[in-house]
Amino acid sequence: MGKLIISSKQYALVDHDWVLALYPQTQGKMIPVLVQLSTGKWTTDLSLAFAQNSPAQHMLYTLKQFYGSELKHL
């Protein structure tokens, strides 16, 4: 039961004006959603210039460091 709960767990990190959320999908995949709170602009594609000019990569690294093996599929 624990594995099922962990596999459906959502993760998020707030960093000043930014939110990075990870939503579980099938087969252990995660969909990232990056939001800039001041503008309301968002994306699910972290390769776009918008995401590349944000703290998204650092936020993702921080989430991976904190949650460890729970986010091994990223």
Residue 70's pLDDT is what? 81
Confidence band, pLDDT 50/70/90 cuts, at residue 8:
confident
Strands 30-36 and 42-43: antiparallel
Residue 69's pLDDT is what? 82
Centre a 10 Å sphere on the Cβ of residue 22 and count the other Cβ atoms it contains.
Answer: 21
First to last CA, the chain: 22
Residue 46's pLDDT is what? 97
Centre a 10 Å sphere on the Cβ of residue 37 and count the other Cβ atoms it contains.
Answer: 12
In this prediction the pTM is 0.87
pLDDT digits 0-9 by tens, 30-70 = 999 999 999 999 999 999 999 999 999 999 999 999 988 88
pLDDT score of 23 more than 80: yes
